[in-house]
Structures are given as C-alpha cells and as structure tokens.
Amino acid sequence: MANVLILGAGMMGSAFSFPLADAGHAVRLVGTHLDREWIVAVRETGIHPKLKIKLPEGVTPFTHDELAEALTGAIDLIVLGVNSAGVDWAVEQLGPLLKTPPPILMLTKGLRAVQDRLRILPDIVREGLARHGVSTTKVGAVGGPCIAGELAARRDSSVVIASADAAFLDRVLPLLAAPYYHAHPSTDVVGVEACAAFKNLYTLAVGFPAGLLAKQGRAPNDAFMHNLAASLFAQSLREMEHFVHFMGGASANVRGLPGAGDLYVTCQGGRNTRLAYLLGSGLRYREAKARYLADQTLEGAELALAIGPTLDHLFQQGTLNPVVFPLAAAILDAICRDLPMQVPWTAFHRE
C-alpha cells in the first residue's frame, strides 16, 4: 500500500482516486481554492457533486489550506490534477512544502509558449519546483482517452504513462494496477503531451460539422455530415504529427492512444465539442462563449489563446511551414481573431 496525494479535486483529479484506491492505496485528495465546495460535499456525503458518484473508501478529502497536513509522513506519489491555469499556483503551494519529493504525475494538460518555443507542462513544473530548491523531482504525465466520469464509473480505460526516466515508470506503473485501468509506458513525453494538448484544439474542428448541419438543415435523403467530420479528423492527425515533430516528439503516439485515441474520445462530447458545434452553427467564438459557455473552461480555446501569437510568429518567420497547418490556422482565426470558422479545403491532405 502506498500513500498518494492528488492536488486538484475537479473531475479528473477526483476520478483518478478510483484506480488508486481500488489498487489498495491510501489517497489524500486535496482541493484547490476553487474546489472547496466539492471537498466539503465529499466530506459530508462521500459523493463528488461533479462526478455524481461516491468516492471510494480510502480517499481522504482535504481543503487547499490543509495541504501541509495532507503532506505529512511518507508520500509515494503526487498527482497533479489542477487545470492548466493552476499549474503555477500548484508549484507555489508545493514548492515550500516538499523536501525529498516523490515522483509527480501530471493529469493537467496544456502547453506554454516561451520565447518562440512550445513547452510541455511537466518541464514547467520541474523548473518551477527547482526555483524553490526542490531540484530532484521527476515529473511524468498521463495521456490517452480517459473521460473522468467513465473512469469514476470504473469503465475500462487505456492510458499512457509518459516519462523519459525508466525508474519513474518502474515505480509509478505498478501503483496504477486497478483491473479496469490499463496503463502503458512511453518514454516520449513530448509526443504524449503535445497530442494531449492539441487534441483539444482540433476538437474545435471535428465537432464543427454537427453545428453546420444544424444550420444548413437536413438533406433530402437525411444525410449527415460525417464525411466532413472524418476529413477534419484525418487532417487533425496529420497536423498533430507535424506539431509533435516540431517539438521533438515521435510519430507513434499520434496514431496511438494519446493522439487518435484521445481525439476520438474528446469528439464524443464535452465542452470543446459544444463550442465546435456553436462555431459550426454560425456563431463567432466570443459570442458563443459569452452566451452559452461563459463559466466553462474550454481547453481548446485556452490553448489557442495561449500559443496563438507564438504560432502566428512561427508561421510568419517560416520556422513552421504554414502550408502544412491550414486547419490550425483556421482555428486560430476563429478563436484569436474572432473570425467565422472556415474549412480551408484546398489546403488539406497534401502529400
């Protein structure tokens, strides 16, 4: 039995307590300052209000101001389940409290644009902790198709645990041995993290035809627009592979769980797909966000806003060839410049 601390008690952080607890570990689930009401609810009822399910025995809830207490004693693994905007906050919270830090496993997905480079969040966390004098931390990441609600329902889920460090994988993978949680190792952290981030961006395209269909209306023979969605799906994988290569990752994960698998599952529903639908129905981003998704975190749009200016610059200076990213360019136009979403057909599927 290991002691595991999860920081972040949103959907994914809380759902991750299921395979850990079911594998026999003691889980300390620490909410952020934004998660207080969920931690209070779990304490009172055992049920997580967003997951709509009772957390396992063996999960102990803590509020964010109890983090030091939650870190008492030996901790074998820290899981970071904050959202991408909360990464710096998490580093500031953990930095002063960690002495000999355990491995850190990140559920948080996103990228940072730093001086014309796209950087993955495990590197940001490792460097942030080093500034607090915590310099030996090993930070890995989880990728692949894993809807939180399904994990919490103990549905079979396949993921990739990514770390360049074999000792990290040897130590962390055995901790995740719940019968419904199928974790596979990968040493390509950049490939896994790039796929995990960009799948949210490209979901804004793949979900677009459903809205366009609603706007245009059914065909005389009731045909849908799946051909268009499939074309966007394939173009998305093509562009993701180019982004992965640019960042130094390998191809294999693009057609694997972190790329094709996670893009597939993200397009089955959720907030990014909802935004894509609204864009397809003719709304522009700002109006769609304000009218229907005001209080929601839209990871695909957040990523576009976070890295869009840097991508624009990389396209302009030719570091990235804009010819191979027509769909990314269309998404940036829609999100960063609030233009109507256009499908740039003639630029697609080039050899």
Site residues (vs its own copies, CB under 8 A): 51-54, 144-147, 149-158, 160, 182, 184-186, 219-231, 233-234, 237-238, 241, 251, 254-257, 259-262, 264-265, 268-269, 343, 345, 348-351
Tell me, what DSSP letter sits at residue 251? S
* Cβ nearer to its own copies, comparing 152 with 335: 152
Q: Which residues contact 259 (CB under 8 A, 6 or more apart)?
A: 195, 199, 237, 240, 241, 244, 253
**What does the DSSP assignment read for 293-340?**
-TT---HHHHHHHHHHHHHHHHHHTTSS-GGG-HHHHHHHHHHHS-PP
Distance in Å, CB of 33 to its own copies, minimum: 25
Q: Sign of the CA dihedral 295, 233, 153, 10? A: negative
Nearer to its own copies, 207 or 308 (CB): 207
Give least dist CB 223 to its own copies, A.
Answer: 4
Helices 121-131 and 87-94 cross at an angle (nearest 10°) of: 30
Give the pair of three-digit tokens for residue 179.
Answer: 């019968």
Strand partners, 26: 3
Residue number, 229 or 332, with CB nearest to its own copies: 229
As measured in angstroms, the least distance from the Cβ of 261 to its own copies is: 3
Name the residue nearer to its own copies (CB basis): 222 or 295.
222
Answer yes or no: are the C-beta atoms of 187 and 162 closer than 8 Å: yes
Structure tokens at 21: 């607890």
Cβ closest to its own copies, residue 229 vs residue 307 = 229
Q: Can you tell me which residue has the tokens 């997580």?
A: 48
Cβ proximity to its own copies: between 43 and 350 the closer is 350
DSSP per position, 168-237? HHHHHGGGG--TTEEEEEES-HHHHHHHHHHHHHHHHHHTHHHHHHHHH---TT---SHHHHHHHHHHHH
Q: 86 vs 207, which CB is nearer to its own copies? A: 207
Tally helices (H) and strands (E) across the chain: 16, 12
In the complex, minimum distance from the CB of residue 272 to its own copies, in angstroms, rounded to a whole number: 14
Is 131 or 350 the residue whose CB approaches its own copies more closely?
350
